[in-house]
Amino acid sequence: MAKRDQSNNDMLKGTLDMMVLRTLILGDAHGHTIAKAIERGSDDLLEVEEGSLYPALHRLEERGWVSSYWGVSDANRKARFYRLTPAGKKQLRSEVGRWRQMAKAIGLVMGDVLKEGGEL
Amino acid sequence: MSWRGLLRRRYWDKERVEEMEAHLAHEIGENVGRGMSEEEARRRAYVKFGSPQKMRERIWQMNSLGWLESVLRDVRHAGRALRRNPGYAVLAVATLGLGIGANTAIFSVINGVLLRPLPYADQDRIVHVDQVENRTGAEGIGLSVQEYFDYRGQASSFEQMSEYHSMMFTLLGTKNPERVVTGVVSGNFFDMLGVQPALGRLFVAADEAKDAPPVLVLTYAYWMKEFGGDRNIVGRVFHMNDRSHTVVGVLPPLPDYPDANEVYMPVSSCPFRMDPKMIADRDMRMVAGFARLKPGVTLEQAHTELNAIRGRMAAAYPKSYAGWTGYAATVTPVKAELTHAARPTFLALLAASGLVLLLACANLANLALSRQVRRSREVAIRLATGASAWRIVRQLTTEAVMVALAGACAGLAIAGVSTKLLVAYAARMTPLAQGIRLDGWVVLFGIGSSVVAGVLFAALPGLLASRTRLTALNEAGERAAGSEGGTRVRSVLVAAQVAFSFVLLVAAGLMLRSLSNLLSVDPGFKLSHVLSMQLNLNWTKYKGEDALRNFYHQLLSRTQAMPGVQEASISWKAPLDPSGPMSGHVLVDGQVASVSTPGMVVNYEISSPDYFRLLGIPVMAGRTFTDSDTLKSQAVAVVNESVARHFWPRQSPIGHRLRAVNGDQWFTVVGVVGNVHEYGLDRAPDELVYVPLEQSMITNGTLMVRTRGNPLSMSSQIEAIVHQIDPEQPVTQVRTLDQMRSEQLGTPRVTATLLGLFAAVALFITIVGISGTLALSVARRSKEIGIRMALGATKARILRDVLHQGMRPVFAGMALGVAGALLATRGMAQMIFGLKPNDPPTFAEIGLVFLVAALVSCLGAARRATNVDPIVTLRTE
């Protein structure tokens, strides 16, 4: 998230957590790959600031949603890999559910305006 | 935030740094792959990544406990502040430690004896049933078996009632034949108390049946001492009174109440209690009654009911309940009986230690005030630079709590050492003393009171003093902070200290004076060089009086023949024996007991002829016993002067006769001897009637021997003589009369020492308070003094002013102290001997001591005041 808005911080933090967990569903990955995956996945709309990524990873590990180990990356370099734990999978499911609800709610309120090409 | 994170944050920091470096390496590698130069690739990577340091900090913080950090910061700050001012820290911790130590030690006694419930179920409902004679003042008469049956059968106030008595029997079957203190109880005794066995079972009703197999229950202490806690003890067989007794169980640890019994047996096993004559005789009162009140029944109800039953007994058996005696039944809660001897002393000591703590608190407040005055500048600067008032409060409180905790540690150490000594002291007054120890409650009390005291008296005054705020930043402010308000508060504190310590000093003075009165009591007999030992002869072995007589004769003649022995005698008890007298009513020839002539309660002593010479009791008239007073000759008695004066005022008692109220044997008085304090130095001389051993044989005798040299060095030789005559005969309670005397004086001595110690601490703290306060005030006023001297005030004038200022709170405090002491020492009336609590000489002496001490403590500051050099002070202005 390129710009950090204090008032949205909590929501954004949650979103970053969710996206990190989502990325790890595809397989174990290290911080650099995760950041790249999120950036590419969002068509480079979102830029993950590493300053937030690593504290987020630390928080996820602290809560037991991911586990980590040292390994060797595709670039043949040492890297710390993260793996989704069953608890993390469960957390992702509930995060997604919450997000879906919120998106739906926002969608209902904003109506057609949100649709591509919708006019104000 | 978690404890796990907190403990591993260094590890995580290292891990994350490595991880970030790996990330950067990837980024750089990618950038190089895109064709950038090595340097550009590195620069871009770092720019994109941001500050690794900041990230480390965020992760570090995630692993921290916010409140703990800030508390630790406060603690570190407080530690620094205290280290900068070690004098304050040491004085505060020492003062608090002394106060808390004294209090915690005394509280451990109160907790162990008065507060902790007895190990009985529903202790408040368990009572001791006894009888008294209101008109003659005889107490603790006990019950006869018939009376016990009547009360038990008729009383509806009790859920259960049990009987109890204690005897010495010989136990055979251990390594050596042993005399054991045996509690003899009805089958429901332990059930009534609500005690569960530690091992095996306790008695049941069936054990009480006449033909039931004899059984024994061991006390916990005896089981541990004699059998090392052997769990196979149940089922073992011992021989007592020529019968086999099987051990069926072991009691849990219990207080030594009603007596320090070692084993228990059911009443059916006690040959004395089962003697048909004993059971039938309403006047032989050998048992005690214990009962459990029904729920909801009050003591008064039980008391009323028992006395109604006693009224019916008196109507049915008028011979046993002469109207003139004022017979009555009493019901006393067991808890009260266990603690009544100790309660006033312990409460007085608690009050004294409480006063010491108050004094310590006053001193703490005083110290905190002067410290805060000195620090007001620091606090003002901190407030001015944006510290919140809350921060200052928190920091002062942290400091106070640290001082308090250190004080609590010192106090608990003091208490730990003294508690061990206090157990022996308290054991003289209550069987519950073994329960005195530093348990969780005591530690909680120590730390709790220390923290409360610390916060209230170290932090609060500091806070009040720091209200001066910004004014402290200029010169005038500094002077203002120390003068008016602060000084007045400190003077009040000093006056309070003086008042408290005056009360304590008076109490200690009274105890010391009482002790010296006790020490100077002339017992009426000579104590030195006398050894006494108890011989409880096995009654199954010495059945006839001839066997007893033979034993005693042999013992006396062999002992007297020993070199170094001057005299030897056999008597019922040695003087000052703590077990108390054998007493009864006597009437003189021609008198009939009635309300107007209720006889006289006297104490009996049974003695062999040499008893009087051995103890140096003077013969005032007639003769003492000789070898020719035997069973075949006339029954004789020797009375002491108070008995003679009571029955035969202004005439010689020689030749007159007296008898026990309920006996029919007449004794002819053949001699009068001097009064003695037979049963206690603090009692008035006892009324004593002596009868010769030959005419009333006893199985429980005391051998006394007067030696030329150190009596204790002869004890083993004398015991050897006993064993030559009867190898199975145990010898107990071997001690000198001097030892028995110091044992009697032990309780008042320790009480006086404790109070004296508290008073000394109090006086010390007070002197520190007086001199410290005055010194501070002189230091603050040195400019004023300098100016006054420059204007012509003489040194004498300055000295007088300073002394006046210093002594004013002392006088005020002493006036309060006198009033307080008059009130507070009233409760000491029964603790002191030979003087009244408002003893004027004690008050005068203590007052004098105090004045001198206060004057001396003012002198230092006064001298400094007169040495002020006006030139120096004026130059600095």
Confidence of residue B485 (pLDDT cuts 50, 70, 90): low
Contacts of A31 in chain B (CB under 8 A): 19, 22-23
Rg (chain B; Cα; Å): 38
Q: What mean pLDDT do residues B817-824 have?
A: 91
The verdict on a CB contact (< 8 Å) between B19 and A73 is: no
Q: Which of B27, B48, B59 sits opposite A58 (nearest CB)?
A: B59
Mean pLDDT over residues B600-624, rounded? Answer: 92
Say if residue B663's pLDDT is above 80.
no
Q: Which of B44, B55, B65 is the best substitution to test chain A (most A C-beta atoms within 10 A)?
A: B55
* Domain total of chain B: 4
Does some domain include residue B84? no
pLDDT beyond 60 at A3: no
Q: Which of B5, B12, B23 sits opposite A32 (nearest CB)?
A: B23
Asked if B22 has any chain A CB less than 8 Å from its own CB, the reply is yes
- Which of A49, A58, A79 comes nearest B16 by C-beta? A58
Kindly tell me if the per-residue pLDDT of B480 is higher than 50.
no
Separation in Å, CA B471 to CA B134, B391, B484, B843:
75, 20, 14, 47
To test the contact with chain A by mutation, choose from B6, B13, B19 the residue with the greatest count of A C-beta atoms within 10 A, namely: B19
Give yes or no for B1 touching A (CB within 8 A): no
Contact A77 B29 (CB under 8 A): yes
Tell me if ipTM is over 0.95: no
Inter-chain residue contact B62 with A54, CB threshold 8 Å: no
Rg of chain A over CA atoms, in angstroms?
16
* Packing angle, helices B86-110 and B737-780, rounded to 10: 150
Cβ separation B22–A58 shorter than 8 A: no
Number of helical H runs and strand E runs in chain A: 4, 3
pLDDT value at position B468?
A: 55
Whether B19 has its CB under 8 Å from any CB of chain A: the answer is yes
Among B696, B728, B760, give the residue marking a domain's end.
B728
Answer yes or no: is pLDDT of B540 > 50. Answer: yes
Q: How far is A99 from chain B (nearest CA, A)?
A: 26
Is residue B490 included in any domain, yes or no? yes
- CB-closest option in B12, B19, B26 to A75: B26
| CA distance to B455, B526, B622, B623, B635, per residue, from B618 (Å) | 66, 10, 11, 10, 22
- Contact A71/B at CB under 8 A: no
Q: In the A/B pair of chains, how many CB contacts fall below 8 A? A: 58
- Whether residue B62 and residue A73 make contact (CB cut-off 8 A), yes or no, is no
Distance CA B491, CA B124 (A): 48
Q: What residue in B sits closest to A30 (Cα-Cα)? A: B23
Lowest mean pLDDT among B103-112, B374-383, B642-651, B842-851: B374-383
Residue of B nearest to A36 (CA): B27
Q: Nearest CA to CA, how far is B20 from chain A (Å)?
A: 8
- Residues from chain A contacting residue B54 (CB–CB below 8 Å): 51
Q: Which of B582, B596, B607 is nearest to B660 (CA)?
A: B582
Query: Residues B669, B627: one domain?
Result: yes
Would you place residue B477 in the very low, low, confident or very high pLDDT band (cuts 50, 70, 90)? very low
- Tell me what pLDDT residue A11 has: 54
CA distance B75 to B815: 43
Which residues of chain A make contact with B19, given a CB cutoff of 8 A?
31, 54, 79-80
Rounded mean pLDDT, B175-203: 90
Q: Is the pLDDT of residue B769 over 60?
A: yes
pLDDT of A10 reads 52
d(CA B463, CA A12): 45
Entry pTM? 0.73
Domain ranges of chain A: 6-109
Residue B5: per-residue pLDDT: 64
* A63 vs B: CB within 8 A: no
CA distance linking residue B67 with residue B64, whole number of Å: 9
Q: Residue B471 has what pLDDT?
A: 53
Same domain, B385 and B444: yes
Residue-wise pLDDT for B85-108, tens only, equals 787 888 888 888 988 998 999 999
Name the residue with higher pLDDT: B548 or A74.
B548
Q: Are residues B722 and B750 in the same domain?
A: no
Token pair of B300 as six digits: 């008064």
Q: What are residue B707's DSSP bridge partners?
A: B565
Distance CA B300, CA B592 (A): 35
Phi and psi for B240 in degrees, rounded to 5?
Answer: -135, 140
- Please judge whether A51 and B54 are an interchain contact, meaning their C-beta atoms are less than 8 angstroms apart: yes
B647 touches B600 (CB < 8 A): yes
Residue A8's pLDDT band, with cuts at 50, 70 and 90, is very low
Residue B254 near residue B220, CB atoms below 8 Å: yes
- pLDDT, tens digit (0-9, with 9 covering 90-100), for B503-518: 999 999 999 999 999 8
Residue at which a domain ends, from B266, B290, B325? B325
User: Pick from B1, B133, B130: which is nearest to B61 by CA?
Assistant: B1
Output the six-digit token pair for B358.
Answer: 């108050």
A78 min Cα distance to partner chain B (Å)? 6
For residues B607 and B684, state if they share a domain: yes
Residues B318 and B359 reside in one and the same domain: no
- To the nearest whole Å, the CA of A32 is away from the closest chain B CA by 6
Q: Tell me if B22 and A55 make a contact (CB, 8 A cut-off).
A: no
pLDDT higher than 90, residue B609: yes
Q: Find the CB nearest A50 among B12, B25, B50.
A: B50
Among B141-150, B512-521, B858-867, the range scoring the smallest mean pLDDT is: B858-867
**From A49, A55, A79, residue closest to B22, measured CB to CB:** A79
Asked if B108 contacts B438 with a C-beta cutoff of 8 angstroms, the reply is yes
Q: Can you give the length of chain B in residues?
A: 877
Neighbours of B132 (CB within 10 A): 17
b/e code B278-290 from CB counts within 10 Å (16+ = b)? beeebebbbbbbb
Assess whether pLDDT exceeds 70 at residue B742: yes
B interface test, pick of A58, A63, A70, A74 with most B CB neighbours within 10 Å: A58
| B477 and B549 both lie in a single domain | no
Q: Which of B251, B196, B257 is nearest to B224 (CA)?
A: B251
Check whether B470 has a pLDDT greater than 70: no
What band does B391 get if pLDDT is binned at 50, 70 and 90? confident
| Contact criterion met (CB < 8 Å) for A51 and B50 | yes
A69 has a chain B CB within 8 A of its CB: no
Residue B482: band (very low, low, confident or very high) from pLDDT cuts 50, 70, 90: very low
Q: Which domain holds residue B704?
A: 538-728
Q: What are phi and psi of B437, to 5 degrees?
A: -160, 165
Q: What element of type H or E holds B198?
A: none
| Amino acid letter, residue B361 | C
- Do B491 and B593 share a domain, yes or no? no
pLDDT of residue B266: 94
Q: Give CA B290 to chain center in angstroms.
A: 26
- Quick check: B25 and A77 CB within 8 A? yes
Choose the mutation target among A50, A53, A77, A81 for the interface with B, i.e. most B CBs under 10 Å.
Answer: A50
| Banded pLDDT at A4 (limits 50, 70, 90) | very low
By the CB < 8 Å criterion, does A58 face chain B?
yes
Find the closest chain A residue to B61 by CA distance: A55
Let me know whether B444 and B552 are in one domain. Answer: no
Judging contacts by C-beta atoms under 8 Å, the chain A residues touching residue B22 are: 30-32, 77-80
Nearest CA in chain A to B6: A62
Q: Which residues of B are less than 8 Å from A55 in CB distance?
A: 55, 58-59, 62
> What pLDDT score was predicted for residue A5?
40
Lowest mean pLDDT among A49-63, B12-26, B378-392, B530-544: B378-392
Once rounded to an integer, what is the mean pLDDT over residues B399-417? 90
A59/B50 Cβ within 8 A:
no
Task: Kindly state whether residues B310 and B193 are assigned to the same domain.
Answer: yes
pLDDT in tens, B331-357: 999 999 888 888 888 888 898 999 888
pLDDT for B484 equals 53
User: Helices (DSSP H) in A2-76: which residue ranges?
Assistant: 9-25, 31-41, 50-62
Point out which residues pair with B161 in neighbouring strands. Answer: B291
Average pLDDT over residues B393-421: 88
pLDDT score, position B21: 85
**What pLDDT was estimated at residue B529?**
92
Test A58 with B29 for CB contact under 8 angstroms. Answer: no
Distance CA B853, CA B872 (A): 32
- Check residue B478 and give its pLDDT: 46
Contacts of B17 in chain A (CB under 8 A): none
Summarised one tens digit per residue, pLDDT across range A39-62 is 888 887 777 777 788 888 888 888
DSSP tag of B477:
H
- Quote the pLDDT of residue A9: 46
Note whether B216 and B248 are within 8 A (CB): yes
Listed in order, strand segments (DSSP E) in B680-783 are 688-692, 700-707, 732-736
Quick one: pLDDT at residue B585? 82
> Per mean pLDDT, which range of B14-18, B296-300, B389-393, B569-573 is the poorest?
B389-393
pLDDT digits (tens, 9 = 90+) for B270-309: 988 888 888 988 888 889 999 999 999 999 999 999 999 9
Q: Which residue of B has its CA nearest to A78?
A: B22
Closest Cα in chain A, distance from residue B40 (Å): 19
Q: How confident is the model at residue B323 (pLDDT cuts 50, 70, 90)?
A: confident
Six-digit token string for B772: 């410290």
Average pLDDT, chain A: 81
Task: Assess whether pLDDT exceeds 60 at residue B77.
Answer: yes
What's the mean per-residue pLDDT of chain B? Answer: 86
Across the interface, do A32 and B26 touch by the CB < 8 Å criterion? Answer: yes
Q: Do A50 and B15 count as a contact with CB atoms less than 8 A apart?
A: no
Statement to judge: residues B436 and B551 lie in one domain? no
| Closest CB to B19 among A31, A49, A62 | A31
Tell me the C-alpha distance between B432 and B341, whole Å: 11
Question: Does B58 touch chain A if contact means CB atoms closer than 8 Å?
Answer: yes
Domain A6-109 has CATH 1.10.10.10: yes
DSSP annotation of B729: -
Which residues 599-638 of B have a C-beta within 8 angstroms of A? none
Asked if A55 has any chain B CB less than 8 Å from its own CB, the reply is yes
Same domain, B167 and B32: no
Asked if residue B806 and residue B764 are part of one domain, the reply reads: yes
Domain end marker among B22, B42, B64:
B64
pLDDT higher than 50, residue B556 = yes
DSSP code of residue B118:
P
Say if the Cβ atoms of B54 and A32 lie within 8 Å.
no
Closest listed residue to residue B136, CA positions, set B649, B595, B683, B589: B595
